[in-house]
Structure 1
Amino acid sequence: MSAVFSSIARRTSHWLRRAAAALAVAAAGLHAASLGEHATSSPLVAVVTVAMIFGCLYCARHLWMRGSHRDWGLVALMNVGMIALHVTVMSPGSGGGGHHGHVMHAAASAPMGHSMSTPMVAALATAALEAVVAVTVLFYQTRLDARDVPA
């Protein structure tokens, strides 16, 4: 029974690694798409965006190749951090009023007082999905590792 479960877990892990790697490449694409906007608003934000593109591709490569606990942990940490940063920066009381401190236009008079662009919604949804997948994989991998340790 254990050998069958182990085989299924390996195949599932393989496909989850590949799916998460594809999501990381998509996130790099979303960062690249926003690079022009960031370059005009602040050179520092543009440099951080370029660093995030390389970070996404770094994680994608590692997930595609092996998907160690460290790789999954880094994916979870980076995505939760990105969500926290963007939600904090975009909150109405942050003083920025918009994505990376951009001034919001009059058209952004949504009931909550701000709106997000489609790429921003896509980026946050991608990050949330990546974080959920990474935490789930880490949970199950560590549970399997705990079963392999003799008592």
Structure 2
Amino acid sequence: MSTIEESKGESATESDVSDYPDYTPISKLTSSDLMQLQNKKMVKHDLLLNNRLSENRHKSELHQRAKKLKHHYKEVDACDKIMAYGFIAIIFLLTGFYWFIMIFSQEIKQTFQEYHIIGHAFVYGSILLGGLNILL
């Protein structure tokens, strides 16, 4: 039975309970059950820790893993820089386009008023920019 069903006030059916054979409602757990669960977690934690700190791991394995992690973090750092510079470039381009439109809005309206081209230019420009974003 999920917490959503509990919050709705619906009761669990036999099929819901049979999906989770180890399921016991929290209200039915005793203190000894809670202690057993905590002991299992502690044993698992200790096993993982011992495995990580064991002496039989070779230095070459650790060195290889460290090299892979270092390479991975360098790639992530390079990706972060590329995204940051790209974001700044896009902000500059958008700001320049905004100021261009603000400064020359009257001239653009007067020049292209009879041709009904402004809407089409924006549509084609948007499609072109979308295509470039997909390609790059």
Please tell me the TM-score bracket, short chain as reference: 0.3 to 0.5
Normalising to structure 2: TM-score of the pair? 0.33
Larger relative contact order (C-alpha < 8 A, sep ≥ 6)?
A: 1
Q: Which has the larger radius of gyration?
A: 2
